């Protein structure tokens, strides 16, 4: 069974440019998560989807970040415009249902904003 797939694996952009990350969860997993991991820290949740509905986006900086999960399967996270402080690893995870179940993580996208 394929795991969580993310692309691209690496991205280098200049500040003020837009960037987008794509995630395809494990087949059959209804819940999808986007996390951000800063250097030397644990991942922090940005947004959680139950099917196509964003049920928790309280940690998402909405002035420049947006996300969508059309058809309740794959998802896209966008930053526009990017700032230097957005440099981090962006991780996607999925689980069968919401709370109390195992989350499986993708390999992440390493973003460097110059």
Contacts to other proteins by CB under 8 A: 33, 41-45, 48, 55-56, 59, 89, 91, 98-105, 107-108, 110
Query: Sheet harboring 19-24: ordered strands across?
Result: 5-7, 19-24, 75-79, 65-68
Question: Minimum distance between the CB of residue 12 and other proteins, rounded to whole angstroms?
Answer: 16
Return the SS3 of 70: helix
Report the nearest approach of other proteins to the CB of residue 16 (Å): 26
The Cβ of residue 53 has, within 10 Å, a number of other Cβ atoms equal to: 9
CB nearer to other proteins: pick between 56 and 81: 56
CA atoms of 16 and 82, how far apart (whole Å): 5
Residue 22 or 81 having the CB closest to other proteins:
22
CB nearer to other proteins: pick between 80 and 101: 101
Q: How far is the CB of 55 from other proteins (least distance, A)?
A: 6
Query: Pairing mode, if any, of strands 10-13 and 109-113?
Result: parallel
Residues 6+ apart with CB under 8 A from 24: 4, 5, 6, 73, 74
Q: For the CB of residue 40, give the shortest distance to other proteins in the complex, in Å.
A: 8
41 or 70: whose CB is closer to other proteins?
A: 41
């Amino acid at each position: 069974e394929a795991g969580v797939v993310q692309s691209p694996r690496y991205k280098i952009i200049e500040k003020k440019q837009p960037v987008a990350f794509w995630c395809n969860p494990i087949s059959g997993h209804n819940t999808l998560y986007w996390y951000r991991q800063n250097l030397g820290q644990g991942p922090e949740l940005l947004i959680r989807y139950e099917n196509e509905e964003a049920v928790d986006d309280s940690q998402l900086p909405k002035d420049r970040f947006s996300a969508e999960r059309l058809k309740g399967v794959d998802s896209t996270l966008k930053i526009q415009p990017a700032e230097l402080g957005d440099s981090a690893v962006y991780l996607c995870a999925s689980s069968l249902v919401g709370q109390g179940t195992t989350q499986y993580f993708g390999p992440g996208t390493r973003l460097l904003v110059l």
